[in-house]
A and B are shown apart, each in its own frame.
Chain A
Amino acid sequence: MHYTFNIERGNFTDAGQASSSVKRTLKQLGVDPANIKRTVVALFEAEINAVAHAYGGTIDVDIDGEKIVMVVADEGPGIPNLDLAMQEGWSTASQKVREMGYGAGMGLPNIKKNTDDLKIDTKVGVGTTVTMTVYLN
């Protein structure tokens, strides 16, 4: 099964729709609740990262009997120092984003904790592609 969603720059109002829709699908498929939780935490965080930092992008989700693969690809500033970005507490979020309760530098660490495989391809001035895999067994 394949699903695609769009990400709009700065549109926090609709953020979470992709995660919500994927959660509903996984529930219908009878996926184990622990795996559903891991999946939606990772997807939501990646979605918020793209909304907060990028200029726009797409989310592609593939679900088969073995795994869930989520690819969040954005056009944006890229991540200049990935090691720093992966550190808990490190954030470059704007004041506005921080006032909403984001920007605590917990997004990428949350993604890493909740996925079995995480790959981040990033190029400064071009964009970032985050590929997250959750294995079902």
Chain B
Amino acid sequence: MTVKDIIEKLELECLNEANLDAEVTGAYASDLLSDVMGNARSGQVWITMQTHKNVTAIASLKDIPAVIIVRSGVPDEDMLEHAKDEDICILVSKEPTFQVCGKLYELIK
């Protein structure tokens, strides 16, 4: 399952195209940044409602190829710029965390 596959299957809006062919090994859903720092693994996508620049900083440090922002969240402008610099794919779902996690779990489990 690649980032591109996930975009199609979950009907996500892509705000920064990057790592589209990256293999997704799983996902981590959390809005607590230290939780992600401590527990997310590289290759996982990160599902969150946080929309500020520290999200891309952490994604980059943890080698997370894509971030899915839930409930049509709008990323801050500097987060998007940083995502471009660091090659992080920024995706937006209209649905809340539970639905995104459920669909993704079905795809990746």
| Residue pair A45, B58 in contact (C-beta under 8 Å) | no
Residues 12-71 (chain A) with a chain B CB within 8 angstroms = 12-13, 15-16, 19-20, 23, 37, 40-41, 44-45, 48
Among B37, B60, B61, the residue within 8 A (CB) of A110 is B37
CB distance from B50 to the nearest CB of A (A): 5
Residues 66-107 (chain A) with a chain B CB within 8 angstroms = 100-102, 104, 106-107
Using known A-B contacts A16-B61, A44-B61, determine if residue A100 contacts B54 with beta carbons closer than 8 Å.
yes
B interface bracket (residues with beta carbon within 8 Å of A): 20 to 34
Among B32, B37, B86, the residue within 8 A (CB) of A44 is B37
Main secondary structure of the interface of B (DSSP, over half): helix
Interface centre among B31, B32, B61 (most CB of A within 10 A): B61
Give the number of residue pairs across the A-B interface with Cβ within 8 Å.
62
CB distance from A9 to the nearest CB of B (A): 16
CB distance from A118 to the nearest CB of B (A): 15
Residue of B nearest to A43 (CB): B61
Interface centre among A23, A45, A101 (most CB of B within 10 A): A101
Residues of chain A with a CB closer than 8 A to B53's CB:
12-13
| Residue pair B54, A12 in contact (C-beta under 8 Å) | yes
Residues of chain A with a CB closer than 8 A to B37's CB:
41, 44-45, 106, 110
Among B50, B54, B60, the residue within 8 A (CB) of A15 is B54
Number of interface residues of A (CB under 8 A): 22
B107 within 8 A of A: no
| Residue pair B62, A37 in contact (C-beta under 8 Å) | yes
CB distance from A32 to the nearest CB of B (A): 14
Residues of chain B with a CB closer than 8 A to A104's CB:
32, 34-35
B108 within 8 A of A: no
A selection of 24 A-B contacts at a CB cut-off of 8 Å is A12-B52, A15-B57, A16-B58, A19-B57, A19-B61, A20-B57, A41-B37, A44-B37, A44-B61, A48-B33, A100-B33, A100-B50, A101-B31, A101-B50, A102-B32, A102-B34, A104-B32, A104-B34, A106-B38, A107-B34, A109-B38, A110-B34, A110-B38, A113-B38
